[in-house]
Amino acid sequence: GVPVIGICHSGGLRLHETLGPMEMFGQLFRRNSIYSGVVPQISIILGVVAGGQAYSPGLTDFILMTKGSAVYIAGPAFVKAQTGMDISDDELGGASMHARTSGLVDVLRDTEAQIFEEARRLIGFLPLSCQGPVPSRPADDDPSRREEALNGMAPEESSKPFDMHRVIQPVFDGGEFFEIKPDFARNIITGFARLAGDTVGVVANQSNYLGGVIDIKAAEKAARFVRFCDAFNIPIITFQDSPAYLIGKEMERAGMIYKGAKLLHAYAEADVPKITIIVRKAYAGAYIAMGSQYIGADLVYAWPGAEISSVAPKTAASILFRQEIQSGADQETIEALHRDYYDNYVRAYRAASLRHINDIIEPAETRSALCKSLALLKGKKQVRPQKKHGNIPL
């Protein structure tokens, strides 16, 4: 098999033809679905795509759009006729809206020439099919290269945000990183890179946006990307720096339990090589979900300043030492209790001593550790129970 690329610009079916085009739509959707996970499928939208035709791109793996394009299941005229609402193409289904709000678009560019160039770049990271090898190319970048700039990159104060792109790009070959859905759910980063010439998928928390917390959109974005990588045998590299899943009334009512579980299911089900770097915060359910040993990661490394805890350390300390706080203990005593809790229960060295992580590495050695780990895990085989397919919580 080989990848399938659809170039889309369609106003939908002709209203006077009815059943014939509907049959064609159904057959197209069926083939999109049957070959999902068999060969990569990419849709390039260069104009308006309306009506039933819009579902075909929605069934493919990646959607690339030019600014000024639009995609919707019913255009402004239909919306006006059925709801009385006046709305423009751009408001209804414009490329920018889909890139930022719905998450439909993976890559957005200004011109058709740029979109085709990005499509070629994307294809370069992907295998021809699920049976083919992951693309590999000669790498001029030394696998053992130290990146001294990573030492001191993460702020010591765990609540202080920083841009995770500054960690990702120096680690991979030539600093190249092809980001997927960069404008959607910006609290999590997904994309493709190369390590020692081999394609890898990258998932990372982004503390620069919402503090790196995992909300529903972030969980769904990352879960879909992880499942794609697993379908096409692409190893997954995870960079952790998240305080938790987002909590509260609105999240519960929006279905956080089962929607957030998509990320857990995706990581647990994936049987490709999975390597995790805990950059800083690894708290609560976010720690488990983002490629922990518990969920099936093959190798987990932590930077020296990493914090690994069942809840945020300050929250845990406020509960554990509530009696001392309420009894009026002086600030020095309370701070000493907090430090004791942090040293004994939060620092990455405790997790390493309990073998919950494999090693603590110097940040500058991150690339070297990843390259060695990936070489070690090549050819990984995992025996799983026989089944037709898993039932991911959709």
Which residues belong to the active site?
Answer: 51-52, 285-286
Paired tokens of 134: 């992951």
Distance CA 190, CA 213 (A): 15
- For CA atoms 353, 354, 355, 360, the dihedral sign is negative
- Per the listing, tokens 């009894």 go with 327
Answer whether 13's CB lies under 8 Å from 52's CB. Answer: yes
Nearest alpha-carbon partner for 148 in 373, 301, 362: 362
- CA-wise closest residue to 2 among 178, 126, 136, 137: 126
Extended strands (E) in the chain: 4-10, 41-50, 62-66, 70-72, 107-109, 178-180, 188-195, 198-205, 236-242, 274-283, 299-302, 307-309, 359-360
Closest CA to 13 of 90, 73, 92: 73
- Round to whole Å and give the CA distance between 287 and 35: 33
What is the gyration radius of the CA atoms in the chain, in angstroms?
23
Under 8 Å between Cβ of 244 and 284: yes
Residue in the block written with tokens 């006046």: 86
- Do 346 and 313 contact (CB within 8 A), yes or no? yes
